[in-house]
């Protein structure tokens, strides 16, 4: 009889108390003309897909292969569901995937487009009829200009639970301020600094054209402007 090999999670081997490593740096806000100190997470660890499946299967009646199969089905079928304009709730606490549309056109962009169209027109009468200075209209944003993307609404309970358990540890990177003292400041644009520049604020989309259920929203698109 083959005995079952117990799985040891890479998370559990790191201990129960693993504070988030935070580094602080000082930047100058040119709008308010004052310095500001900002935190950022550093030394973040990664948990790959196979480790995640093992971790989720640990202590349950399903295997890591079962978890992997379900996750792969979600990957394959989620875009199909979103393409039907469906908002998909993926967890009991409300993890939600939904379709999102973005795209925009400005007055200056319209003028440039009309000028190019006028220059390419070979019929003098048709070219003369193109008013490059006309006011922008809703119809000037075409379907071809739109970009489809996926937005993710994180459950509010997840954030509350995470905030209640998260602890922080200051990670110093020595520097010298103008007064000659030692600071933890680093250059956030330094390409040699292998840290995560992710903002520590809530990533909530305030221009969303659907109702927000209270959790944070993550957009997979960085396209400016969203269609109504």
pLDDT value of position 140:
96
In whole angstroms, what is the distance from residue 53 CA to residue 72 CA?
11
The pTM of the full predicted model, rounded to 2 decimals, is: 0.63
pLDDT value of position 193:
44
Query: Please, what's the b/e burial string for 145-154 (b: 16 or more CB within 10 A of its CB; e: otherwise)?
Result: eeeeebbbbb
pLDDT in tens, the chain (228 residues): 444 455 565 555 655 567 899 999 999 999 999 999 999 999 888 899 999 999 999 999 999 999 999 999 999 999 999 999 999 999 999 999 999 999 999 999 999 999 999 999 999 999 999 999 999 999 999 999 999 999 999 999 999 999 999 999 998 875 434 433 444 444 444 433 444 444 444 444 444 444 444 555 665 554 444 444
φ and ψ at residue 28, rounded to 5 degrees? -105, 125
pLDDT value of position 6:
57
In whole angstroms, what is the distance from residue 174 CA to residue 194 CA?
16
Structure tokens belonging to residue 24: 């602080």
pLDDT value of position 38:
94
Annotated domain spans of the chain: 12-98+149-219, 105-140
pLDDT value of position 11:
59
């Amino acid at each position: 009889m083959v005995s079952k090999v117990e799985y040891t999670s890479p998370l559990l081997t790191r201990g129960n108390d693993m504070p988030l490593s935070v580094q602080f740096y000082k930047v100058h806000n040119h709008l308010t003309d004052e310095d500001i100190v900002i935190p950022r997470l550093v030394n973040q660890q990664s948990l790959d897909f196979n480790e995640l499946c093992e971790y989720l299967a640990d202590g349950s009646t399903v295997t890591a292969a079962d978890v992997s199969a379900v996750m792969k089905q979600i990957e394959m079928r989620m875009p199909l569901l979103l393409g039907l304009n469906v908002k998909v709730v993926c967890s009991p606490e409300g993890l939600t995937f939904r379709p999102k549309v973005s795209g925009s056109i400005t007055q200056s962009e319209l003028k440039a487009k009309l000028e190019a169209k006028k220059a390419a027109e070979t019929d003098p009468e048709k070219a003369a009829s193109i008013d490059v200075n006309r006011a922008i209209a809703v119809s000037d944003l075409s379907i071809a200009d739109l970009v489809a993307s996926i937005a993710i609404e994180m459950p509010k309970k997840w954030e509350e639970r995470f905030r209640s358990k998260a602890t922080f540890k200051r990670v110093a990177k020595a520097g010298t301020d103008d007064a000659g003292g030692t600071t933890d400041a680093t250059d956030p644009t330094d390409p040699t600094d292998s840290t995560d520049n992710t903002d520590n604020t809530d990533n909530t989309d305030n221009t969303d054209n659907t109702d927000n259920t209270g959790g944070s929203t993550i957009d997979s698109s960085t396209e400016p402007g969203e269609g109504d």
